[in-house]
Amino acid sequence: MSLELQTEFSRLRVHDLIAKLAHTRLKDVLRVLVALRAVAEEYDLPLEAILAMPYSAVKPTPEQARDCERAYWWMYDNTRLNRLLFEIEHLH
């Protein structure tokens, strides 16, 4: 990479690029990034491990939906995560 490109890249806000690539609003990207951090903290996983997990746009099975709902409420009941969850809610 040329020095000129490195200098330009050093000013790049990666979350702006993610929003542009995903064709979505910046606030939505920020909420997802904070949610990733909260899940990583709750499950003691590195972000790389979460990003390497398989994902699908297919509707979850009823069992998967129930598991997600339980995990969601567990995280909201966990006061250790209040700061991150508060941050997500206030990015509207």
Residue with tokens 């020095």: 3
Amino acid of residue 11: R
User: What is the CB-side half-sphere exposure of residue 83 using CA atoms within 13 A?
Assistant: 4
List all residues 6 or more positions away from 39 whose beta carbon is below 8 Å from its beta carbon. 45, 50, 75
pLDDT given for residue 32 in this prediction: 93
Cα–Cα dist 85/79, whole Å: 10
Identify the burial level of 50 via C-beta atoms within 10 angstroms of its C-beta, where 0-12 means exposed, 13-18 middle and 19 or more buried: middle
Global pTM reads 0.78
Q: What is the pLDDT tens value at each position of the chain, 92 positions in all?
A: 565 666 667 788 889 999 999 999 999 999 999 999 999 999 999 999 999 999 999 999 999 999 999 998 888 888 888 888 888 888 77
